[in-house]
Structure 1
């Protein structure tokens, strides 16, 4: 018996349940159940605990039409989503395609360096031959440990290269400079390098006036061991704008890079932290953050211990007013 024939029988004779249908049709109960469930899925009836609840033909048609429309809407939404994915994929892959095209047509020059001194090696390999006398270089140096470990000879050689430029701006992390780093800064300053400090610089990179940009292979990376130099006016333009924004946020290199010296100086003279903060034109909340940062840098847990460590360090920033 087909489903249509079964539905006609249900409409004519109105059997109450599955058992009555099986008895009337002499069809196995399992087959009857399967047929009734198919009819229920089409909206012709409901099957509740083997009890059959028929829907009038008009209602069944309305249910079928509604389900068809829902299916069409779902299919249209799925098509729209697939189309959006295709368009998004094209947009994302176009950048890679253009990059590859530039490589093929030799519009981009790439040079790569690997290893613990990759950043300096790339600089020596690229800068000396690329930027003529009087050029300008902007750099973000995020891993000062590698410079601390460099030999004095390597530092002097690096400074000699810097001395050939009209302007060199370098951003380094805001930190208390130990004797080795302070000596390095002095050496570079003699070569007209201008330093500024920035808390947690985002990544190592540099860019010069010849539109060459040095970048970590994986951005961001503060201690890169795999770096690349790219010759591209577009990339260089973005790097220059980004550096300019970081430079505006950075502060000149000082013995007191995070600004706690002025606070401790006033507190030593009897001011409260809030009063000292206001006298420096900062909010008490900013003052508390600076003191907390100083505690972290000196490795102490109390204001008394901080004052002692600061005094032992030479009271950097004590003369700031």
Structure 2
């Protein structure tokens, strides 16, 4: 309990003091309690008190009053933090109102603006979904001005997921066959993003809470983009996204193969493993995600009653999986 209300170090110092046979000399207390400053921390929290002996000694507060004192201090700290949060929320509202007012004064009738500065576009692209309250939608084509890197990934933040924001993205299937693209998709999916894929997308686009959208005006979107805050326009783009989402294939899923196709795919995975390819390389070769490959491997290891991949390979060899199916 004291560890939760204070810190593990303070709780340990109190335990040592409380279990000591009688008070301990004040001068020796820090050393015996394990760290410099232990006495000061215990006294400040009311977990110990000094008895006016000659020389003075340190005694532990009884357990019940000690817990009550620590609880009172924690309540005080939480109240202070709550006050900070209330002030911060109030000031954030004021800042938002001021920004909205300034935006209206700058252009009271403008519901769309064209961005041509690459830094402005990149900044808005990175932050448009950070304050989402309900949902954030993305269309991501495989078109970039610079080589794609893993740092290009923009997975949802843990705070956004914790707030219950739903993140949905549609990627072009080229991502799955590209080593870096596959890593980007995997990292975004692991962060909580719902992902589907289509063979081709017409443009890059991001939509947040039906309130704003960022639409690329060039293939890569880095040199020109349209920022929309018109409710009518944003709603139309949301409707378009939903149509694409309905037709897109969920990540990791493929049309149900026939028995023969399933057998060939399983044999292909086993054969590539036998050649020494890693899961990621197998995935790229077969147009699957690494996660799907690992799941398929687990499935046929179970089917072959193999505890290791080496054992699975040996059993697959025994069953003739590596023979040419056309022979």
If the length of structure 1 is used for normalisation, what is the TM-score?
0.42
If the length of structure 2 is used for normalisation, what is the TM-score?
0.42
